[in-house]
Amino acid sequence: MLNYQRYRGFPIFRYPKRSWTEREIEKAPIWCSVDLRDGNQALVEPMSVEEKLEFFQLLVRLGFREIEVGFPAASQIEYDYLRNLIERKQIPEDVTVQVLVQCREELLDRTFESLVGLDKAIVHIYNSTSVLQRDVVFDKSREEIKEIALRGVEMVKRHEKDFSGKVRLEYSPESFTGTEMDYALEICNAVIEAWDVRPGREIIINLPSTVEMHSPNVYADQIEFMSRNLKRRDSVILSIHPHNDRGEGVAAAELALLAGAQRVEGTLFGNGERTGNVDILTLAYNMFSQGIDPKLNLENIREIQEVYERCTKMSIPPRHPYAGKLVFTAFSGSHQDAINKGLRAMRERKGTIWEVPYLPIDPADIGREYEPVVRINSQSGKGGVAFILEDRFGYRLPKGMQREFADYIQKISEEQGEVSPEQIFEVFRIEYLESREPIEFRNVRSTDIENADGSYTTFADVTYRNAGRLHEFSGSGNGPIAAVLSGLNKELSMQGKVLDYSEHALNAGSDSKAVSYIHLLDEESGRSSYGVGVSSNITRSSIRALFAAVNRLFYPEEAEESGRRRVKEAEEKKA
């Protein structure tokens, strides 16, 4: 049994004056990528200088205008990387790089040395303020910990005087979520005063959930409390840096934005220490799905994923939101049916607003248009199979035929697992389109004669093959299908009756073909089956469908063998 008695909840900060519960996200925040520092330090094999350069260029293309490039005082590689960016003029004018540094003189010396040549930079200082770290790591009082932060501010100010560019200070009370809120406010306000914050000299106050300790609503209360009580608030950019220890980083960030946060620090795909940082891509795509411009260029998730995986040597889980291999895939039959109907409704209604069940966004909008949305396995139903035939191959099966055809695919999937769209269509061709034995329609001549009551009777003369030999018969009825069926009933001594008929164009344009579906009943046995026919002539497609239905209903073994042979011959001819 889990020894839950070893643990206790950290005291919850309660803020009854909260108003974030009544708000909604209306615009994107300032985004700051920390992939090249917080994400990079968490890699088993940190990125090389060239890999970091490629990653930096990706972030610039995506539209990040604030990018934390590393901890230049921590190692020679980090220092060389920043110098490489500056000396090779890789930093666009509208991009501000951010560097992290502890509040120590020798580290700040090295950091400002690495910034030479820049016209602007964000210098990010931090020190841990939590109850636990004050006790077991630093053994210092609240006043002593505050003094560390203030000394850091004074050191940055001294270096600022000799720096040719503009410095924006960022301060983080690390382990903010484990800090008493009155003390977090006290130390942040002291930093604001020490930096002499005013319009034109703004400061970034960054409030990290270095360890996610509560449910997201508590983090939102903490953020709103700070937002309401920080001094010189109009000149403070309130930033958040959520981690994901409880798996709630995205939710915590979204609620924090409601609570007054203006800026988000995070990483692509949530890479970072332990369970990672907040995933900026998920946050941005969530906004996009609600009709909000995320202010990032995220149209090609494939490119983002490819560069990320190659440079970090990390892989994206198949169920990762938006980027995962399976996130736009449905195996459940009911889900597949709903997706199919939703997409059809979008087409028929010419809708401009995306509304499809189970698909919060159009996969095509983020570069996923070439993937099948529905995949078929033993858990799939008729809706999924029908969707594949319509979406990939253009055949809109009648409802009854969907059930009939799905049975064939169900048997295959139970034996082998997932069934590919190509395999589904091959079975469809064998069972329906190439079902031409023992009888095969060849030609028809039809004439319409007007009756005394104004109705018409169709007379049809049909040429067909039976077991390879040519035959002819005649028939009459109230249309071409009825006329041909009456002749077939006499010719083959059967009792066939059409239960249903439908047709549609297989593709657009003047050279489009018609596809016809006929549901045929054997009145003697009570059995029924479908046939499908395709032709550039609607009458010929309907008669081909009728012949296919006769073969499948009265001669099923010969029809299946005929289909397999014809498909094989066609493939050999292509090869």
In our burial notation (b when 16+ CB lie closer than 10 A, e otherwise), range 33-45 reads: bbbbbbbbbbeee
pTM (two decimals):
0.79
The pLDDT value recorded for residue 566 is 77
Domain count, the chain: 3
The model's pLDDT over 500-543, given as tens digits with 9 standing for 90+, comes to: 999 999 876 656 899 999 999 999 999 999 999 999 999 999 99
| Reported confidence tier of residue 372, pLDDT bands at 50, 70, 90 | low
Closest CA to 177 of 123, 120, 221: 221
Same domain, 265 and 399: no
Same domain, 408 and 548: no
The model's pLDDT over 169-219, given as tens digits with 9 standing for 90+, comes to: 999 999 999 999 999 999 999 999 999 999 999 999 999 999 999 999 999
**pLDDT at 129 > cutoff 70:** yes
The pLDDT value recorded for residue 370 is 42
The pLDDT value recorded for residue 510 is 56
Domain boundary among 417, 433, 449: 433
The model's pLDDT over 17-46, given as tens digits with 9 standing for 90+, comes to: 999 999 999 999 999 999 999 999 999 999
User: What phi and psi values does residue 176 have, to the nearest 5 degrees?
Assistant: -55, -40
pLDDT more than 90, % of the chain: 77
DSSP bridge partners of 465: 440, 470
Same domain, 67 and 213: yes
Residue 369: how many other CB atoms lie within 10 Å: 11
**pLDDT at 567 > cutoff 80:** no
The model's pLDDT over 112-122, given as tens digits with 9 standing for 90+, comes to: 999 999 999 99
Same domain, 446 and 429: no
Q: Which residue has the higher pLDDT, 226 or 344?
A: 226
Same domain, 301 and 377: no
398 located within any domain: yes
**pLDDT at 149 > cutoff 50:** yes
Same domain, 472 and 529: yes
Same domain, 455 and 558: yes
Same domain, 189 and 107: yes
Give me the mean pLDDT over the 81-85 stretch. 94
Closest CA to 276 of 307, 239, 222, 317: 317
The model's pLDDT over 285-342, given as tens digits with 9 standing for 90+, comes to: 999 999 999 999 999 999 999 999 999 999 999 999 999 998 988 877 788 888 888 9
The pLDDT value recorded for residue 369 is 61
Same domain, 140 and 285: yes
Residue 294: how many other CB atoms lie within 10 Å: 21
The model's pLDDT over 462-486, given as tens digits with 9 standing for 90+, comes to: 999 998 899 999 999 999 999 999 9
Exposure of 174 in the CB half-sphere (CA atoms within 13 A): 16
CATH (domain of 139): 3.20.20.70
325 located within any domain: no
132 located within any domain: yes
The model's pLDDT over 400-437, given as tens digits with 9 standing for 90+, comes to: 999 899 888 888 888 888 888 899 999 999 889 888 88
The pLDDT value recorded for residue 487 is 95
Range of 473's domain?
441-574
6 located within any domain: no
| Reported confidence tier of residue 575, pLDDT bands at 50, 70, 90 | low
Domain boundary among 282, 312, 342: 312
2 located within any domain: no
Among 8-17, 65-74, 562-571, the range with the most confident prediction by mean pLDDT is 65-74
321 located within any domain: no
CATH (domain of 562): 3.30.160.270
What average pLDDT does the chain have? 92
CA distance 473 to 469: 13
Same domain, 249 and 346: no
Whether residue 269 contacts residue 4, with contact meaning beta carbons closer than 8 Å, is answered with no
| Reported confidence tier of residue 368, pLDDT bands at 50, 70, 90 | confident
Closest CA to 134 of 143, 124, 126, 121: 143
Which residues, at least 6 apart from 569, have a Cβ–Cβ distance to it below 8 Å? none
The pLDDT value recorded for residue 574 is 67
Same domain, 464 and 494: yes
Token duo for residue 533 = 């026919």
487 located within any domain: yes
Domain boundary among 279, 312, 345: 312
Among 2-11, 195-204, 327-336, 554-563, the range with the most confident prediction by mean pLDDT is 195-204
**pLDDT at 283 > cutoff 60:** yes
Whether residue 187 contacts residue 145, with contact meaning beta carbons closer than 8 Å, is answered with yes
Same domain, 477 and 424: no
The pLDDT value recorded for residue 373 is 62
The C-alpha torsion from 339 through 344 and 349 to 352, rounded to 10°, is 50
Report the Cα 179 to chain-centroid distance in Å: 36
538 located within any domain: yes
